[in-house]
Structure 1
Amino acid sequence: MTYDVEALRARIPALRAGVAHFDGPGGTQTPAPVIAAITDALSNPLSVRGSAAPGEINAETIVRDFRRAMADLLGAEDTGIVVGRSATQLTYDFSRVLARSWAPGDEVVVSRLDHDANIRPWVQAAERAGAVVRWADFDPATGDLSAASVGALLTDRTRLVAVTAASNLIGTRPDMAAIAELVHRAGALLYVDGVHFAAHAFVDVAELGADFYVCSPYKFFGPHHGVLAASPRLLETLRPDKLAPSTDAVPERFEFGTLPYEALAGTRAAVDFLADLAPGPTGDRRARLRSAYAAIEEHETVLRESAEHALSQLDGVTRHSRAALRTPTMLLTFDNRSALDAHHFLARSQVHAPAGSFYALEASRHLGLGDAGGLRVGLSPYNNADDVERLFAGLSAFLRA
């Protein structure tokens, strides 16, 4: 059994509209089983979690199944899975908690490759604590962020390093294991933004060396909310502000208010949907996810290489995504033409490739693109060869116009 992209597309209702979607880095389209899981959660009795009334039991079951699914997806423990409104909100929450132990003269390392959600919370927390912020730069010519560039910034005063596992702007995938080894050797913690990475690659938080790993299910077929994975033992050492009556148990200690049960039900369904993409039916969910991501990476790599070859035939187009290891996400700029104009032109022929810096403001500036960024072409598991042909035809027409 091989990867069947057409069977996958048939299970995503939004694709019936005929749009060729290259906006996956901003959020994938939603499969029917995920929509059904959300509907089912809201169609049955639902209340605050408990063990007596049907609504209580349903809520408890949804949360339990969600944590187990995300633990399988990330290679984490289910008691280390924290729910948040978004990855940004989770990072702000944890930056405030972790910064309580920082003192003037301590150091925090952030990367110019990152989405601002993994930069600004740490910069602001460091400023309040009197800590020093050190910046890891990537090579603008290749897009690569080397472990050595991060390691050169580490000292015995480094308390935390925040680095993305994959750039949402240009797709670069740094060597996280090598970075983690240097960070931990320095006695610091590693906070990994895995939002873009989790949409394209099999995640193992232990292999990555992440002390904290944050992601967003809506990037991999799920609903809009955030998820953080960490060791329960590490979470036990952290004391966030919380309401007096709320539980102090981990991971609930970090979850404020009633959880969005319908979103958690949808996320569980999204993980199962991903597992169902495995070329074979054997193995537990974690094993099937590993197989599914291998198939997704192979499919997306073929499409990326096809798209890159086609784009190389166009004059006046610069591709800024050239890292040795990268996701199928390409940032394009045009000689004497606006990326925003390209976005609008393509949209008229139902090809959706958005333009901007996509909150990767430091990366866009480091590439010499200012705050404008470029046209982002992001492939997803449901893209096919016809989508790539439509993109090429649209850009060809735009450059002739």
Structure 2
Amino acid sequence: MNISDIRKHFPILDQEVNGHPLVYLDSAATSQKPISVIEAIDRYYREYNSNVHRGVHTLGTKATDGYEGAREKVRRFIGAASTEEVIFTRGTTTAINMVAHSYGRANLSEGDEILLTPMEHHANLIPWQQAAKATGAVLKYVPMQPDGTICLEDVKEMITPQTKIVAMAHVSNVLGTINPIKEVAEVVHQQDAILLVDGAQSTPHLSVNVTDLGADFYAFSGHKMVGPTGIGVLYGKKELLENMEPFETGGEMIDFVDYYDASWKELPWKLEAGTPVIAGAIGLGAAIDFLNDIGMENIHAHEEELADYAQQALSEIGDLTIYGPKERAGLVTFNMGDVHPHDVATVLDAEGIAVRAGHHCAQPLMKWLGVSATARASFYLYNTKEEIDALAAGLKKTKEYFGHVF
């Protein structure tokens, strides 16, 4: 990978913030967009803006081809068996809510168990809390190891004949932990339970094959993988999706409507009510093309190298705590002594360095860590070691600013 050449595709990176070159280390929140994605969205609105599926005119046909063509790109990218298994959503949150509501509430009963981990993003926690409240099901949590990983033996011990759903992040957005999803899926299926995977932090960074992983449902967002905001994907095994009632109803998803009843279209359209995010899907297709051109294996290897480099660079700064395992995805979450993470992020911003500070939509994990908030630097294909050096220098300046000594 030639990072210098890759960075040329991202016009937003070529600017100064507060008089310093921008160092963007917040891709776990949202990634930047390459020119090819921006142009694909612009081209849709300029040249063939139209609704999909309904019209027989030329623009409608071209828009439908672009939209459904993006679905096929997603199918290949994640290794789904059929485009019927690829449902476009607004993002990971909508996708998980869809499963929790349409599958969970229909298949859970009082005393059934939903198994989670303490590292889940709120998007993969609150929908299950609500499903449990609605059905009388019980939430259980796999214990975590001191380094922020989970042990497969603990998963085996926690799953019982009452376990109906296991919901787990592929990669933690705070710790960078990469969970053993394929092995977990084998354990889950031995108990005839189903596995939903939150892939928001894995799909942009790892080679993902949902069929090989054994996931029953897999959710991810376009905006974290150099695509636009407002578009995401729910993958589901065909037999599960076919037995789900629509999460939303209205136009586009119907087959026939009478005064007192209606029937639904076949998959995937029965789960996509209303006018979809057409430009977003086309932009996501362009993002997948961009990532494929670089190669997901190359992206993952680059981020592993950056994560190792960052851990070493930050570990040399005294009074700084790094959270999570050594083997991790491309991010580093940390705290500096008694300095609040928001203060750390503010000082870094004055140096042109963008990091995330707060609870990262993972308050139960903050409780497990024994902190109220952390700072997080997250890396992507366009980041460099020089930017990590800038982060380390900025943290040293932060430490000096708040009166710490080396």
TM-score by length of 1: 0.92
Counterpart contact for 1:136–1:153, Cα < 8 Å: yes
Name the aligned partner's letter for residue 374 of structure 1. T
1:178 aligns with 2:194: no
Unaligned runs of 5+ in 1: 278-291
1:220 aligns with 2:225: yes
Q: Give the Cα separation in 1 of the matches to 2:289 and 2:142.
A: 37
Counterpart contact for 2:101–2:247, Cα < 8 Å: no
Q: Which deviations, in whole Å up to 9, do the C-alpha atoms of 1:142-195 show, x marking residues without a partner?
A: 010122222212111211000000000110011111111110001100000000
Name the aligned partner's letter for residue 321 of structure 1. G
- Count residues with an aligned counterpart: 381
Counterpart contact for 2:89–2:272, Cα < 8 Å: yes
User: Secondary structure of 2:312's match?
Assistant: helix
Counterpart contact for 1:147–1:174, Cα < 8 Å: no
User: Secondary structure of 2:203's match?
Assistant: helix
Residue 242 of structure 1 deviates from its aligned partner by 4.7
Aligned to 2:260: none
Counterpart contact for 1:321–1:329, Cα < 8 Å: no
Aligned to 2:127: 121
1:84 aligns with 2:89: yes
Cα–Cα, structure 1 residues 382 and 244, in superposed 2: closer, same or farther, change >3 Å? Answer: closer
Name the aligned partner's letter for residue 357 of structure 1. H
Cα–Cα, structure 1 residues 320 and 262, in superposed 2: closer, same or farther, change >3 Å? Answer: same
Name the aligned partner's letter for residue 132 of structure 2. A
Give percent identity, aligned residues only: 28
What's the RMSD between the two structures over aligned residues? 1.4
Matches within 5 A, 1:279-294: 292-294=295-297
Counterpart contact for 1:113–1:145, Cα < 8 Å: no
1:41 aligns with 2:70: no
Matches within 5 A, 1:226-237: 226-237=232-243
Name the aligned partner's letter for residue 354 of structure 1. R
Aligned to 1:335: 337
1:319 aligns with 2:322: yes
Residue 240 of structure 1 deviates from its aligned partner by 2.2
Name the aligned partner's letter for residue 318 of structure 2. D
User: Secondary structure of 1:150's match?
Assistant: helix
User: Secondary structure of 2:176's match?
Assistant: coil
1:303 aligns with 2:306: yes
Aligned to 2:78: 74
Q: Give the Cα separation in 2 of the matches to 1:241 and 1:9.
A: 40
Aligned to 1:260: 277
Q: Give the Cα separation in 1 of the matches to 2:160 and 2:300.
A: 36
Name the aligned partner's letter for residue 64 of structure 1. E
Aligned to 1:157: 162
Aligned to 2:62: 58
User: Secondary structure of 1:159's match?
Assistant: strand
Aligned to 2:3: 5
Name the aligned partner's letter for residue 30 of structure 1. K
1:132 aligns with 2:134: no
Q: Give the Cα separation in 2 of the matches to 1:183 and 1:367.
A: 27
User: Secondary structure of 2:310's match?
Assistant: helix
Residue 113 of structure 1 deviates from its aligned partner by 1.0
Residue 232 of structure 1 deviates from its aligned partner by 2.1
Residue 136 of structure 1 deviates from its aligned partner by 1.6
Q: 1:166 aligns with which of 164, 168, 171?
A: 171
Counterpart contact for 2:250–2:274, Cα < 8 Å: no
Q: Give the Cα separation in 1 of the matches to 2:201 and 2:28.
A: 7
Aligned to 1:284: none
Q: Give the Cα separation in 2 of the matches to 1:357 and 1:242.
A: 31
Aligned to 1:281: none
Matches within 5 A, 1:385-400: 385-400=385-400
Name the aligned partner's letter for residue 76 of structure 2. D
Q: Give the Cα separation in 1 of the matches to 2:248 and 2:196.
A: 22
Unaligned runs of 5+ in 2: 16-20, 255-264, 402-406
TM-score by length of 2: 0.91
Q: Which deviations, in whole Å up to 9, do the C-alpha atoms of 1:14-54 show, x marking residues without a partner?
A: 00113111101001111000000000111123322246202
